[in-house]
Amino acid sequence: MKLFLVITITILVTSIVYAQEKIENFNDVKELELSFSLKSTIQLNKIENNPSLEFIKATLSFFPREDYRQRVINEQTSSNPQVPVEREDNTLIFKWTSIDEENTNKIEYGINSKVITKNEFIKITKEIKFPIRNLDNSLIEYTKATEFIDITPEIEAKAYELIGTETDLYKTVFKIADWTKNNIKYDLSTLTANVVQKSSWVLKNKEGVCDELTNLFISMLRSVGIPARFVSGMVYSNLDYKFGPHGWAEVYFPEYGWIPFDITFGQYGWIDPSHVKLKDDVDSGSPTAEYNWRGYGLDLKVEDIKIETNYGRIGEKFISPLTISIDPYKKSAGPESFVPLLVAVGNPTDYYISTSVVIKKAPELTENNVKQVLLKPKETKTIGWIIKVPENIEEGYIYTAELEATTDYGDMATSQIKYSNEYDYFNKESADKIIESLKERETKSTFTSLQISCSGDKQLYYSNETATIKCQITSQEEIKNFDFCIKDKCQGLSLAPGETKTIEQKFTSIMAEKIAIIAEDNKRVKYVYLDLKVIGVPDLYVTEFRPNAVNFKDDVEITFLINIDTPIKDLELQFEDGNKLVIGDLKDSRGVNIKTNGRSLVNGLKFQAKYRDEGNKEYEKDMAVPVNVKNIPWYAKIILAILDLF
């Protein structure tokens, strides 16, 4: 039997923040309480003697709005000199008609608001047909070209190319949104960072910032008759961990109203609660404020508007309705292999849900680690990536790499893949075919006539056990020549009307996962997922033992890490000198600190570990860590030699 060393590797796809903890996003909180402030100054400069001023009017269109996900709980305007504020056509109007031109050299105004934003989205429960028919006259302007949201033959052609034969409005909008995100480079270093560019420029140059991505998205929607408008606001970003100006879109869905789509953030049909809506408009280039004045002998200079947004109270955790699992197509692979990585996301609700799926931990991926998925009611989809196994793997080692995937709403799934020189090689061509088959399934209809019921032969498994999965397949109609797969084990089947067939498959070295069961022919597909409860067999080991050497006559303080590769409960360490250390539950690693002397370490640090696994099975493990004890007296060596005889 060949002896292998086992090495666990964790590879983070995203960056790690080592400084003080900072909030990455607010996707998984129910609501936020935010403070918003805006202020500006109008400078009055006298350029002639005896100046005269009839009026100055500032029309502000940039302030928090009320809608289904945003509520203004306090709003206060301010001005100096003080004037009453009027509301008119979604604007706030500050108008000064009596000013001491000789003694007043500036005018100040602003607004302060407290806002509650919610992690809430409009639940679309049924398919809305595309193209949209009988559009209300009030929405026509949101299907027309504007200065920055222009519509060209190239934009229209690209939109129809992306849509294809799609007749579901949500899917149509999703396809255009996802293409825009994945094909227009977000680049703050371009000239678009300070000057808004037209949609036609963005399509040609394939770059921009949030305004440009949103402009092009809206242009393509409008070119095929879908009403869409530009939204201006503030949003929290983990690029600098603060709020800044941002632009996104709202798309009109008949019977449901305006639905938000943030292309930059990959949030299609919802936006996280750090989004503060301040304005919506038919175009993206409209000003934040407009100024009118009448007088002579004065020159007016308007300073830049200063906006600040901060979060205060953070609400409870948002409970995601989604399910997620992650599973490599092969549990083990040889060096330089290409292994499909499959993430299944399920939507048990009766409404559409869109989410990003992010691979947080994995070996090298062949593409971006983030993908978006749209799920219809009760739908489950599998998304694929390809893992590239490292080339340089030392002989005699088995490497274990952690896999982790998350959704926008905080769902997380984990798994593992092992690689070694002893395992089989898988080529890229085979991996590409598997990923391509996932994309092809997107276009297939559902096998509505099939009923599939699957179960395991046990309620609970250990990871070194064999699981037998049994499935019963019944059809209401005749189905010829379809494939039935449990994980990667497939066979061809045919069923007569009312016929039931039973299929069994055995799997070894299983892990906690959703087992994908797929029935598929050329035109139809049906997924069923089976949850297996699997407990890893705990393996306790010691690392980072310090100090490396001790003197025989010295009192010493020993530190080390006690590690476990799967969670355990009620861990106790019983040392040879009679001391006992109660650690309790352990999920990964725990530091241990003990005081002893060099005499007791001559034969190493020895102790017995007692613990239970998640299935309450009890374990006892004798452990010994060799210690380099120096300056052992001659008499002690004789005594130790005698003791070794027994």
pLDDT single digits (tens) 480-499: 999 999 877 889 999 999 99
What is residue 636's three-state secondary structure? helix
Structure tokens, 312: 């205060």
Mean pLDDT check: name the lowest of 185-189, 221-225, 471-475, 630-634.
185-189
Give the pLDDT of residue 221: 97
State yes or no: pLDDT of 59 exceeds 90.
yes
State yes or no: pLDDT of 12 exceeds 60.
no
Cα(225)–Cα(485) distance, rounded to whole angstroms?
Answer: 42
Give the pLDDT of residue 646: 54
State yes or no: pLDDT of 607 exceeds 60.
yes
Cα(70)–Cα(67) distance, rounded to whole angstroms?
Answer: 5
What is the pTM assigned to this prediction? 0.76
Half-sphere exposure of 105 (CA within 13 A, CB side): 3
In this prediction, residues 548-561 reach a mean pLDDT of: 89
In this prediction, residues 560-585 reach a mean pLDDT of: 87
* CB-neighbour burial class of residue 609 (10 A; exposed 0-12, middle 13-18, buried 19+): buried
Tens of pLDDT, residues 422-481: 889 999 999 998 898 888 877 777 788 899 999 999 888 887 788 899 999 999 999 999
In this prediction, residues 354-381 reach a mean pLDDT of: 94
Which element (helix H / strand E) includes 257?
strand 257-262
Cα 339–chain centre separation: 22
State yes or no: pLDDT of 13 exceeds 70.
no
State yes or no: pLDDT of 347 exceeds 90.
yes
| String of DSSP letters for 412-440 | EEEEEEEE-TTSPP--HHHHHHHHHHHHH
Cα 98–chain centre separation: 55
Mean pLDDT check: name the lowest of 106-110, 185-189, 482-486.
185-189
Query: Could you give the percent of the chain with pLDDT greater than 70?
Result: 92
Mean pLDDT check: name the lowest of 79-88, 99-108, 235-244, 587-596.
99-108
Mean pLDDT check: name the lowest of 10-19, 70-79, 272-281, 538-547.
10-19
Contacts of 645 (CB under 8 A, 6+ apart): none
Peptide bond before 131: cis, by omega within 30 degrees of 0?
yes
In this prediction, residues 513-542 reach a mean pLDDT of: 82
* Residue in the structure block whose two tokens are 């896999």: 403
- Smallest CA-to-CA distance from 435 within 342, 541, 334 is with 342
State yes or no: pLDDT of 17 exceeds 50.
no
What is residue 58's three-state secondary structure? strand
How far CA 592 is from CA of 214, 556, 560, 619, in Å, comes to 54, 14, 5, 20
State yes or no: pLDDT of 228 exceeds 50.
yes
Give the pLDDT of residue 8: 37
Give the pLDDT of residue 641: 63
Q: What's the whole-number average pLDDT of the chain?
A: 88
What is residue 28's three-state secondary structure? coil
Give the pLDDT of residue 529: 78
Cα(210)–Cα(264) distance, rounded to whole angstroms?
Answer: 6
Structure tokens, 620: 């006892």
Residue 65 pLDDT level (bands cut at 50, 70, 90): very high
Residue 369 pLDDT level (bands cut at 50, 70, 90): very high
State yes or no: pLDDT of 338 exceeds 50.
yes
Cα(425)–Cα(511) distance, rounded to whole angstroms?
Answer: 21
The neighbour count for residue 288, using CB atoms within 10 Å, is 17
State yes or no: pLDDT of 272 exceeds 50.
yes
- Smallest CA-to-CA distance from 261 within 181, 375, 343, 377 is with 181
State yes or no: pLDDT of 14 exceeds 50.
no
Most confidently modeled range among 46-55, 97-106, 195-204 = 195-204
Contacts of 165 (CB under 8 A, 6+ apart): none
State yes or no: pLDDT of 536 exceeds 90.
no
Cα 403–chain centre separation: 14
Residue 191 pLDDT level (bands cut at 50, 70, 90): very low
Mean pLDDT check: name the lowest of 2-11, 122-131, 233-242, 304-313.
2-11
Give the pLDDT of residue 640: 62
